[in-house]
Amino acid sequence: MKHIISVLVENKFGVLSRVSGLFSGRGFNIETISIGPTLDPSVSQMTIVTTGDERILEQIVKQLNKLIDVIKVTDFADKEFVEREMCLIKVNAPQEHRSEALRTADIFRARVVDSTQKSYTFQVTGDEKKIDAFIELLKPMGIKEIVRTGKVAITRD
């Protein structure tokens, strides 16, 4: 089972390695992890996507809470939330495929952020499914490079 966990941490030297060390040391999975500042400059926000059964998830949440620098852990399992991820995709786009690439991008509301004679770079945002689908459609053209941010998520009120 995939889970999204949001972790508020002290914005301190070494915190990321404490969190990632916890996952590696205890054999928990990290699928994606993203970190950024919050309104309070002393606090950072991590979004971690992990897999595991209920028992493992319980341990992950408890172990995260036990880390001295962790202020708050939210498991999104039983919450309503919105998740987004951004992805930059560089695809081959020779003359004969350019318009098709643009049409596909349009359907997914992807934007062209860079363009050369032979390639396009798209920026696409959305949930995981949407991004995966977009990538699938571009594959036949030949994807040169993909960079994904990992998920961020926020609860609905």
Partner 1 sequence: MSSKQLMSGAEIFIESLKKEKVDTIFAYPGGVVLNIFDFLYKQKDIRYILPRHEQGAIHAADGYARSTGRVGVALVTSGPGATNTVTGIATAYMDSIPLVIFTGQVPTALIGNDAFQEADIVGITRPCTKYNYLVKDVNDLAQTIKEAFYIASTGRPGPVLIDLPRDVVTSRAEFHYPDKVKIRSYNPTVEGNKRQIKQAADAIAAAKKPVCYIGGGVILANAADQIREFAEITKIPVTHTLMGIGGFPGTHPLSLGMLGMHGTYYANLSIHNSDLIIAIGARFDDRVTGKVEGFAPGAKIIHIDVDPTSIRKNVRVDIPVVGDVKHVMTELNKELRASKEPWDAIRKSWLRQIDAWREERPLSYEQDDEVIKPQFVIEKLYEVTGGDAIIVTDVGQHQMWAAQYYKFDNPRMWCTSGGLGTMGYGFPAAMGAKVAHPDKHVFSISGDGSIQMNIQELATTIENNIPVKVVILNNRFLGMVRQWQELFYQERYSSVDLGSVPDFVKVAEAYSAVGLRATKPEEVVPVLKEAMKIKRTVFMDFVVARYEKVFPMVPAGASIHEMIFGEEKKMEEKKLKAVK
Binding flag, residue 53, partner 1 (CB under 8 A): no
Query: CB under 8 A: which stretch of 54-62, 110-118, 125-133, 147-155 binds partner 1?
Result: 54-62
* CA–CA dist 155, 157 (Å, integer): 6
Binding flag, residue 75, partner 1 (CB under 8 A): no
Query: CB under 8 A: which stretch of 55-63, 83-91, 120-128, 141-149 binds partner 1?
Result: 55-63
With CB under 8 A as the contact rule, the residue among 2, 21, 38, 109 that binds partner 1 is 21
Q: Residue 1 contacts by C-beta under 8 Å, 6 or more apart in sequence?
A: 51, 52, 53, 54, 57
Q: Residue 91 contacts by C-beta under 8 Å, 6 or more apart in sequence?
A: 101, 119, 120, 121, 122, 138, 141, 142, 143, 144
For helices 54-66 and 15-25, give the axis angle rounded to 10 degrees. Answer: 150
Query: CB under 8 A: which stretch of 68-76, 93-101, 109-117, 125-133 binds partner 1?
Result: 68-76
- List of residues contacting partner 1 (CB under 8 A): 9-10, 13-14, 17-18, 21, 25, 55, 58-59, 62-63, 65-66, 68-71
